[in-house]
Structures are given as C-alpha cells and as structure tokens.
Amino acid sequence: MKIALLGYGKMGKMIESIALDRNHEIVLKIDESNIHELTVENLQKADVAIEFSTPATVLANIQICIDAQVPLVVGTTGWYGQLQQVKDACLAANSTVMYGSNFSVGVNIFFQISKIAAKMMNNFSDQYDVGMEEIHHIHKLDSPSGTAITIAEDILEEFKTKKEWVDVNASENNVTQHRPEHLIIESYREGEVPGTHAVIYDSDVDRIELKHVAHGRQGFALGAVLAGEWLQGKKGFYSVKEMYNFNV
Ligand SMILES: NC(=O)c1ccc[n+]([C@@H]2O[C@H](COP(=O)([O-])OP(=O)(O)OC[C@H]3O[C@@H](n4cnc5c(N)ncnc54)[C@H](O)[C@@H]3O)[C@@H](O)[C@H]2O)c1
C-alpha cells in the first residue's frame, strides 16, 4: 500500500515505522513545515491517507482527502462535534473515511468490556456510583481524551442514572460541582504517559476498577495501519468499531 501521512509527529513517526515493517511505502509526509505539499494531486499518488495531526488542522485535512477521493484513516481526536457534517461530506462525494478515538485492539476490547460492565452495573445503580480517570502526557491538546469520551458515551447508554459526562481537570484541581447525574471524568496530564484509562464503580462495601494502560504508541499505530489495509476497496464512512467487529 502507498501511504500518505498527514501529521508527522509522535504518532506519524510510529505509523511510518510499523507501515515499513509491513512492507508498505510512504509516498507523502505532511507536517506544519510543508503544508504546501498537501495537494489533491499528491494525495492521489497514495492508496490511503493516515491523519494524526491536531484538532485545529484535522477538518481541513479530512476535506482535502475527501476531495481527492483517497481513503482516509483519521486518528486525530477533538473534532467529533462535526462528525455528522464530515459523514455527510464523505458520503456525498462517494469517498472513504474511517475515524476512531483509539485504534488499538486492546482499547477496543476495553470499550466492549466497559460497556458490558455498565449494563450489568445499571441493575445496582442504587449501590454503586461510577466515575472515570484518564492520564496522558503533558503535550496532549484535548481534554478529556477522545478515548475517554467514547468510554463515557458507552456508559451513558447503559448506566441510566448518569445523564452527561463532565470533565474535571484533576491536574489543576479544578473540581466542579458534582451532581449525581454527572459522570465525572478526572483528566490528569503527567510526563510522557502514552494513555491510561480507568472506569471505577464504588459502593459502601467495595470498589471495582477496570483499567487499560498503554505501554507505548505501538498499539495505536498498528491499528491505524490495519485500518488503512481494511479500507482498501471500500467506500463509505466507518468507525473503527466496524473493523474490529467483536460481535459480543
Ligand atoms: N486514535 C488514536 O488511536 C490516537 C492515538 C494517539 C493519539 N491520537 C491523536 O492523534 C493526534 C496526534 O497525536 P501526536 O501525539 O502524534 O501529536 P504530535 O503533536 O506529536 O504531532 C502532531 C503533528 O501534526 C503536525 N501538523 C501541524 N499542522 C498540520 C497540518 N495542517 N497538517 C498536517 N500535519 C500538521 C505537526 O507538525 C506534528 O508533526 C492527537 O489528536 C492525538 O490525540 C489518536
């Protein structure tokens, strides 16, 4: 596969290394120093574009990939308020986009485990409260993480006493008023942590913790390359959940 990398930072470099190991070729690398090279003509030399840039630049990058009709894997988070418009633009142009707040198989398994747990715990919401924690490196631009939002939205679908998630910047001790219907996400920014997410059910008598700890970025990067492979020959707008399709 010929790959265009949009964003050549921590994730772009890891994706390059894994893609080369899997015998793919990198035909275009874009970061903030050479944005003028991001043209429809250059994109059309690739079989897939993989986008890990910034929340401020991702939407323009998605649009140019749709215009070029190059299949696109979007890993950048922090833009899902515009998800419906992007989906409409993709489908109207008969193009191909897959998005995911997290591409690693481990986190996608964790999403499923957490959703099943929320469904079970919903029967005991008179005894258990649920909360979340996420920890990332200090360079991360969005908060809470896109992964935390996916986990939170799955919990809200199943654990009916919670009505909305609320982010608490725990590093700055920014504690907002906690209402029982709020699913609190405590976000911590520490050192170079690649990504830790925990869901905690607490009662008067015990505590259940579900936790995913990424040891590095390899899992995210491999998942993004697998997504590019999976998109070959497909048209449409996909979530990473459709690729893993655990069927539980
Ligand atoms: N979905 C996932 O599995 C997953 C995993 C890890 C990180 N992420 C997300 O991916 C994004 C990138 O993460 P990172 O750690 O690589 O960040 P990073 O800061 O290391 O890299 C961002 C890169 O984007 C480049 N850039 C800036 N403007 C650009 C533009 N207009 N076009 C293309 N590139 C541009 C920068 O030069 C830099 O190279 C973040 O939103 C992060 O939250 C997603």
pLDDT digits (tens, 9 = 90+) for 182-214: 999 999 999 999 999 999 999 999 999 999 999
Do 46 and 122 reside in the same domain of the chain? no
Number of structural domains, the chain? 2
Do 208 and 109 reside in the same domain of the chain? yes
pLDDT at 21: 97
How far does the centroid of ligand 1 lie from the alpha carbon of residue 219, in Å? 16
Do 12 and 38 reside in the same domain of the chain? yes
How far does the centroid of ligand 1 lie from the alpha carbon of residue 201, in Å? 32
Do 17 and 89 reside in the same domain of the chain? yes
As for ligand 1, residues whose beta carbon falls within 6 Å of it are 6-12, 30-32, 35, 52-55, 57, 61, 75-78, 100-103, 220
Do 150 and 168 reside in the same domain of the chain? yes
* Rounded (5°) CA angle 163-166-169: 165
Q: Could you list the residue range(s) of the whole structural domain that residue 78 is in?
A: 2-103+217-244
Do 110 and 203 reside in the same domain of the chain? yes
Nearest atom within ligand 1 for CA of residue 38: 32
**How many angstroms separate the CA atoms of 51 and 53, rounded?**
6
Query: Are 165 and 183 spatial neighbours (Cβ–Cβ below 8 Å)?
Result: yes
Q: 197: domain CATH number?
A: 3.30.360.10
**How many angstroms separate the CA atoms of 194 and 100, rounded?**
17
Q: Measured between alpha carbons, how far is residue 167 from residues 56, 98, 180 in Å?
A: 20, 26, 14
Do 95 and 163 reside in the same domain of the chain? no
Q: Which of 51-55, 139-143, 157-161 has the lowest mean pLDDT?
A: 139-143
How far does the centroid of ligand 1 lie from the alpha carbon of residue 55, in Å? 8
